[in-house]
């Protein structure tokens, strides 16, 4: 499944629009239950959540790729207060003009869990990869994040719990003013093989280079499909072959 090329709000609509009409360029979920496996959401635009906006409900995402979407908040995804469990998600080259180049946790009770996550080259003035308001919680396990922004990868007043991950920002700062906890985090570039923000999403290779610090650095109780300890990143862990 591919979701691409949508622009919100619809430029032919005029007047004062409900906020939801400008949220989730590729997919907007207001409530309910979503179990989503596979697919690519790329090249969409909205004010909140260029690729995806999740207001509430219960959401399970697995092996979903989100690339080159654009928004004010949450280039890839704007997260309200759903119960979100995202595994093997890959987000790259998304842009937010305000906050959260990849993910923006918008509410005091936003609480999102990402396991085996790839983040690369997302951009925003604040929180190039992930940003969250005071009280929000982003939990990352087995993440591989690589950025080139002058700003922190993870920023603003949210709480970031990061475990068994490899993260680095060529522009320097990784964590901004948010509260950070966690364990077994390597502050070093995960060395994806080839990722370019060139408006082509099919030429990007997130295979880890041989010297990647993300190799065997994922959740210690998990194994990769080759039987070795799980790697960090979206190709890691027992569900990593995709």
- Site residues for Ca ion per CB under 5 A: 196, 198, 200, 203-204, 216, 224, 228, 231
How near is the Cβ of 30 to Ca ion at its closest, in Å? 32
111-120 and 83-92: which strand pairing?
Answer: parallel
How near is the Cβ of 231 to Ca ion at its closest, in Å? 4
Query: Closest CB to Ca ion among 177 and 228?
Result: 228
What DSSP character marks residue 189? -
Lookup result for tokens 């654009």 = 70
Beta strands per DSSP E along 83-149? 83-92, 95-99, 103-105, 111-120, 130-132, 137-147
Query: Closest CB to Ca ion among 80 and 240?
Result: 240
192-194 and 205-208: which strand pairing?
Answer: antiparallel
70 vs 7: CA distance, rounded Å: 9
Structure tokens at 5: 């090329």
CA distances to 61, 165, 202 from 87, in Å: 6, 14, 21
217 vs 160: CA distance, rounded Å: 18
Query: Closest CB to Ca ion among 80 and 213?
Result: 213
Query: Closest CB to Ca ion among 178 and 237?
Result: 237
How near is the Cβ of 100 to Ca ion at its closest, in Å? 21
99 forms beta bridges with 73, 126
Residue nearest to Ca ion (CB): 228
Residue 97 buriedness (CB in 10 A; 0-12 / 13-18 / 19+): middle
How near is the Cβ of 6 to Ca ion at its closest, in Å? 20
Query: Closest CB to Ca ion among 49 and 218?
Result: 218
Query: Closest CB to Ca ion among 17 and 200?
Result: 200
How near is the Cβ of 34 to Ca ion at its closest, in Å? 27
How near is the Cβ of 229 to Ca ion at its closest, in Å? 5
Lookup result for tokens 């937010």 = 96
List phi, psi (to 5°) of 20. Answer: -65, -20
């Amino acid at each position: 499944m591919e979701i691409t090329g949508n622009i919100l709000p619809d430029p032919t609509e005029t007047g004062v629009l409900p906020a939801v009409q400008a949220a989730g360029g590729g997919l907007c979920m207001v409530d309910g239950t979503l179990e989503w496996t596979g697919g690519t959401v790329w090249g969409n635009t909205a004010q909140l959540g260029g690729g995806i906006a999740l207001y509430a409900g219960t959401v399970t995402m697995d092996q979903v790729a989100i690339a080159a979407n654009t928004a004010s908040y949450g280039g890839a995804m704007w997260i309200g207060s759903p119960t979100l469990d995202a595994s093997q998600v890959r987000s790259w080259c998304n842009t937010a003009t305000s906050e959260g180049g990849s993910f923006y946790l918008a509410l005091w009770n936003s609480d999102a869990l990402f396991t085996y996550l790839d983040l690369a080259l997302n951009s925003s003035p604040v929180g190039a990869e992930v940003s969250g308001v005071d009280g929000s919680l982003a939990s990352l396990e087995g993440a591989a994040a690589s950025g080139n922004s002058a700003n922190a990868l993870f920023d603003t007043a949210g709480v970031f719990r990061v475990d068994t991950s490899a993260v680095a920002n060529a522009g320097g700062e990784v964590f901004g003013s948010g509260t950070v906890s966690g364990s077994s985090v390597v502050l070093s570039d995960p060395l994806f093989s080839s990722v370019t923000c060139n408006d082509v999403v099919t030429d990007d290779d997130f295979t880890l280079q041989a010297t990647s610090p993300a190799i065997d650095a994922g959740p210690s109780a998990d194994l990769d499909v080759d039987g070795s300890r799980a790697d960090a990143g979206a190709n890691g862990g027992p569900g990593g072959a995709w």
